[in-house]
Amino acid sequence: MASVDEIAPERARTSGSLRRDVGLIGLMWASVGSIIGSGWLYGAQKAVVVAGPAALISWIIGAVAVVLLALVHAELGGLFPVAGGTARYPHYAFGGLAGMSFGWFSWLQAATVAPIEVEAMIGYAGHWSWAQGFQHANGTLTTSGFIVAVVLMAIFVAVNFLGVKVLAHTNSAATWWKIAVPLGAIFVIAATNFHPHNFTSQGFAPFGAKGVLSAISTSGIIFALLGFEQAIQLAGESRNPKRDLPRATIGSVVIGAVIYVLLQVVYIGALPLASFAHGWAKLDYAGISGPWAGLATVVGLGWLGWVLYADAIISPGGTGLIYTTSTSRISYGLSKNGYAPRLFEKTDGRGVPWFGLIISFVTGVICFLPFPSWQELVSFITSASVLMYAGAPLAFGVFRNRLPHHERPYRLPGGGVISPVSFVVASLIIYWAGWDTLQRLGWAIIIGYVLLGSYAWYATKKRLPNAPRLDWKAAQWLPVYLIGMGLIAWQGGFGGQGHLPLWWDMVVITAFSLGIYYWARATAVSSEAIEQNIEEVAVVDEGGH
């Protein structure tokens, strides 16, 4: 069986073959390069529209939440120093059904990244007259914009079909560029245009606590910060994982958070007063479809605007290519695990999983229909990503309980407390995305269970050699968690019925999540079964960021 976590069909590696030659800087650089991605192009603008200047608090809360998840992953990365792992940890702890589920969550997350990068490219391209008809005033795609989006998705797939090699990890030069551009924008704009009164002229927190919390999930904050895992992916190659993993993990999130907070501060401070004269929710200025480049142009920095327009085409394009590859490889892994037809394992002469690429294209096109704007799609990606990452704290608790004597290069101090707290935080982030987003995520999950579950049933009935063991008993908590989160969101105040008042809804989420955490830990597979699951799952390369 193979991992379902962004794997490459054409080559494999074992943990025993990894050379431990990556130091602290290498680990941290890998994560920082992933954190400073295309999220910065829209995050500041979307966050201030939802939360006002209090978006600064949203970034800080988001950073703390991601640090908690990252710390849990740091111990798991040392315990199982393998490439990939986010979907693999629940598979080890809870068996096949959990592995199938978190594999599907991983696929959903990867499959929606390429479409969001396409929407970022189209948004910034709106600067040019020939592209201004691609989006409505509210940022959603027009008919011509939809056609262009489909063409761009087709280009991503075509490049992959040609066998063009995309780097699994951002190389040093590209990372320098990705960091230099936003830092340069911060310095130049702050030095020439900064108005402190912007932070108070319409009130610091005009939308209250609800706006601050909503912004975390819906404006790209979590989406932007979830790149920390790249350091953990390299755990098996770290010279000193006990010392360097936690430092690299926390350090990369802190560096990323500082850069994003500075971007938010400078963005708010540089805005012309007229742009938010009618309130932050109605923020508007020429070129706002490409927020940073448009702002640079408005404040008289046209040359910087051109740099940002170019970066906004190049960077999302590269990420879209990578995740188109990743999506096809995750489906390849799902097939290897017996959850999808073996057609997904078929490769052409270049080792490209061609059927998975076709499905990746179709999925990307479908995403443009219910999520025709960057912000709508980022909420979905955030929820799917955090749902995927939420399996790690659950597995952490099981491994501490079932495998207490396994060697841990890094042992998280206070892990018995941090682990359930991080699971609660993950549940809150999912909840803050709002009922409308979670409805769509729920339908996507149901579709996944129908498709993958049907094939697993067929493979079992026909006694196919790759038929999976589903371990229903060990994953009995999972459907309760998914349905329960949906019901709470439906009754809550973030786009739901509003029957659960603010703060009380979070008390309910906290109590519910803690109940699920300890239930999952109690019903997990035995120590022997965990060892067997580890033996059965091959270690392979991930598709990468």
What values do phi and psi take at 295, rounded to 5? -65, -45
Contacts of 144 (CB under 8 A, 6+ apart): 133, 134
Neighbours of 154 (CB within 10 A): 13
Q: Domain for residue 304, yes or no?
A: yes
DSSP state of 164: P
Neighbours of 185 (CB within 10 A): 26
For Cα atoms 117, 119, 125, give the angle at the middle one, nearest 5 degrees: 105
Q: Domain for residue 1, yes or no?
A: no
Q: Domain for residue 56, yes or no?
A: yes
Q: How many domains does the chain have?
A: 1
**Domain enclosing residue 283, as ranges:** 7-542
* CA–CA gap between residue 508 and residue 25 (Å, rounded): 41
Residue 526, sorted as left (phi over 0), alpha (psi -120 to 50) or beta, turns out to be beta
**421 Cα distance to chain centroid:** 20
The two tokens of residue 20 are 């431990």
Residue whose C-alpha is closest to residue 170's, from 294, 31, 40, 312: 31
Distances (CA, A) of 54 to 86, 282, 375, 509: 32, 16, 19, 24
Residue whose C-alpha is closest to residue 469's, from 96, 88, 1: 96
Q: What CATH code is carried by the domain that includes residue 17?
A: 1.20.1740.10
> Do 212 and 54 meet the contact criterion of CB atoms below 8 Å apart?
yes
* CA–CA gap between residue 528 and residue 359 (Å, rounded): 37
Q: Domain for residue 248, yes or no?
A: yes
For Cα atoms 124, 130, 132, give the angle at the middle one, nearest 5 degrees: 50
At 125 the pLDDT is: 86
Q: Domain for residue 488, yes or no?
A: yes
Q: Domain for residue 476, yes or no?
A: yes
Contacts of 55 (CB under 8 A, 6+ apart): 44, 47, 48, 212, 215, 219, 264, 268
Judge residue 19's burial from the number of C-beta atoms within 10 Å of its C-beta, 0-12 exposed, 13-18 middle, 19 or more buried. Answer: exposed
Q: Domain for residue 2, yes or no?
A: no
* CA–CA gap between residue 367 and residue 117 (Å, rounded): 12
Q: Domain for residue 443, yes or no?
A: yes
Per-residue tens of pLDDT for the chain, all 545 residues:
433 444 444 443 443 344 566 788 888 877 787 788 778 889 999 999 999 999 999 999 999 999 899 889 888 877 876 545 666 788 889 988 998 899 899 888 888 888 888 988 888 888 788 888 888 877 788 899 999 999 999 988 887 777 645 444 434 566 778 788 999 999 999 999 999 999 998 899 999 999 999 999 999 899 888 877 767 766 666 778 777 878 888 888 889 889 999 999 999 999 999 999 999 999 999 888 889 999 999 999 999 999 998 888 877 877 777 777 777 777 877 777 778 888 888 877 767 788 888 988 998 898 888 777 777 788 888 898 899 889 999 999 999 999 998 888 788 899 999 999 999 999 999 999 999 989 999 999 999 999 888 888 888 888 877 777 788 999 999 999 999 999 999 999 999 999 999 999 999 999 999 999 999 999 999 999 888 877 765 443 444 33
At 542 the pLDDT is: 42
pTM score, whole prediction? 0.85
Residue whose C-alpha is closest to residue 211's, from 5, 39, 411, 56: 56
* For helices 55-79 and 415-432, angle between their N-to-C axes, nearest 10 degrees: 130
The two tokens of residue 308 are 């940002």
